[in-house]
């Protein structure tokens, strides 16, 4: 039996990043054979079957809440607490080292906290359950200055437990190298590693639309996080607005669970809006609204300082929209195939210059949009097949 840890996707209507990929992965793996989604229970210290409302969050995250939200995880917590008064937690499915579960595989696609890391390490040591992880990034290790302290602590436990896994599948060559570096730093014996970049399917494929050039709408899809470099983007946009350039900048994404980590970004948004700048924060939105935003924009920006992959870049290209982004690490892996205008996103002048080019050069815009439209992407079905071959032994 194949079990999928869906804790990240089954507890709230968050559809960004890891929760979105977990949902698509669950859907794609279901087409290939039996799969049992499970969630981690802190009270029972074991993996449990999903309750009815958790299944809804996994399959239809906006069925209960289709409005924009600054913090969708809070919505999930409120709904979950009210539902748990009526529903018991799902029955325990996996106990790790307490029962003989040989022949079963647990696929774990998310970073975990210390308690779950301890459980996973014990399960790996007992050799009664095959453990496979999808690893996204080592940002808490590489850039602790951009990471909340509680995530740094969790990351050490998480990386240590991964060393005991049967195999770890990374989403990029960059994330593979950074995981190996973290293992060396923490004195861990490394597990076998394979690289499988994320596929790309997000609704019907978009096409290059040169008419969007005249709309002058710029989109940034990202949570309000220091490493996402919103402040650098605001400085670049302000430079262009001060030069008399006319364009709209739209932000889509949630604030962080610990609000103070997003506070400076929220204050900068409010200040620019008070000055009359055409800056809009739509908060966290449904997939349907996000698709519409991609289709309506002229191009996207993704000035993030460091990533394990860079999914919004691929999403932009999927809809035939050029993207302004950096080339460091995994960002370079994703941008190298065409459709991107690269720059030094850590430098205000460089970022502003790239944005100016896409706002003023129709020939450049048409070329990059055409490259985006022609970018080949692996489907979720193809990805699931490749992954399934690594999961079943």
| Domain limits, CATH 3.40.50.2000, in the chain | 210-374
The whole-number pLDDT of residue 381 equals 96
Region of poorest pLDDT, from 77-81, 127-131, 203-207 = 77-81
Q: What pLDDT is stored for residue 85 in this prediction? A: 40
Torsion angles phi and psi, residue 41, rounded to 5: -105, 115
The residue whose two tokens read 């869906």 is: 6
Least confident of 83-92, 293-302, 313-322: 83-92
**Positive or negative: CA dihedral 17, 145, 113, 160:** positive
- Report whether 45 contacts 115 (CB < 8 A): yes
Q: String of b and e for 215-228 (b: at least 16 CB within 10 Å)?
A: ebbbbbbbbbbbbb
**Does residue 75 carry a pLDDT above 70?**
no
Rounded to an integer, what distance in angstroms lies between the CA atom of residue 359 and that of residue 125?
56
393, exposed or middle or buried, with CB in 10 Å at 0-12, 13-18, 19+? exposed
pLDDT at 102 over 70: no
CB within 8 A of 297, min separation 6: which ones? 212, 215, 217, 218, 219, 250, 321
The pLDDT of residue 103 is above 70: yes
CATH code of the domain made up of 2-199+379-391: 3.40.50
Q: Is the dihedral of CA 186, 187, 192, 195 positive or negative?
A: positive
- For 62, residues 6+ apart whose C-beta sits below 8 A from its C-beta are 13, 15, 286, 287, 288
pLDDT, position 279:
98
The string of pLDDT tens digits covering residues 256-275 is 876 677 899 999 999 999 99
What CATH code would you report for 210-374? 3.40.50.2000
Please state the pTM of the whole predicted model. Answer: 0.93
Task: Name the DSSP class of 103.
Answer: T
The per-residue pLDDT of the chain, averaged, comes to 90
DSSP 8-state code for residue 250: E
Report pLDDT for 7. Answer: 93
**Tokens, residue 49:** 């079957």
Q: What is the pLDDT of residue 98?
A: 52
Give pLDDT tens digits for 18-57.
888 999 999 999 999 999 999 999 888 899 999 988 898 8
pLDDT tens readout for residues 167-213:
999 999 999 999 999 999 999 999 999 999 999 999 899 999 999 99
């Amino acid at each position: 039996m194949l079990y999928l840890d869906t804790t990240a996707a089954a507890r709230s209507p968050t559809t960004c990043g890891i929760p979105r990929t977990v949902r698509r992965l669950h859907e794609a793996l279901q087409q290939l054979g039996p799969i049992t989604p499970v969630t981690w229970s802190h009270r029972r210290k074991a993996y449990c079957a999903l309750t009815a409302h958790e299944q809804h969050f996994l399959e239809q995250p906006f069925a209960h809440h289709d409005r924009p939200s600054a913090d969708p995880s809070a919505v999930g917590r409120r709904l979950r607490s009210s539902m748990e008064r009526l529903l018991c937690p799902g029955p325990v499915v996996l106990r790790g080292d307490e029962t003989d579960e040989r022949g079963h595989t647990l696929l774990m696609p998310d970073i975990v906290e210390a308690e779950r890391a301890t459980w996973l390490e014990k399960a790996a040591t007992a050799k009664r359950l095959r453990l496979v992880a999808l690893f996204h990034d080592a940002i808490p290790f590489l850039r602790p200055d951009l990471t909340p302290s509680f995530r740094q602590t969790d990351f050490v436990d998480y990386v240590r437990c991964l060393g005991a896994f049967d195999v770890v599948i990374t989403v990029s060559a960059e994330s593979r190298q950074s995981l190996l570096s973290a293992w060396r730093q923490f004195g861990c014996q490394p597990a076998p590693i394979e690289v499988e970049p994320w596929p790309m399917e997000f609704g019907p494929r978009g096409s290059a639309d040169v008419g969007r050039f005249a709309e002058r709408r710029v989109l940034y899809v990202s949570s309000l996080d220091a490493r996402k470099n919103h402040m650098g983007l605001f400085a670049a946009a302000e430079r262009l607005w001060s030069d008399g350039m006319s364009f709209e900048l739209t932000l889509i994404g949630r604030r962080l669970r610990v609000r103070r980590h997003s506070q400076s970004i929220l204050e900068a948004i409010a200040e620019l809006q008070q000055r009359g700048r055409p800056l809009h924060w739509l908060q966290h939105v449904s997939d349907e609204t996000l698709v519409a935003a991609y289709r309506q924009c002229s191009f996207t920006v993704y000035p993030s300082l460091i990533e394990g992959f860079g999914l919004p870049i691929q999403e932009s290209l999927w809809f035939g929209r050029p993207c302004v982004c950096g080339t460091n690490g995994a960002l370079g892996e994703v941008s190298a195939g065409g459709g991107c205008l690269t720059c030094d996103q850590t430098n205000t002048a460089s970022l502003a210059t790239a944005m100016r080019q896409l706002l003023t050069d129709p020939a450049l815009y048409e070329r990059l949009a055409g490259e985006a439209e022609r970018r080949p992407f692996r489907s979720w079905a193809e990805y699931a097949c490749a992954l399934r071959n690594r999961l079943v032994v």
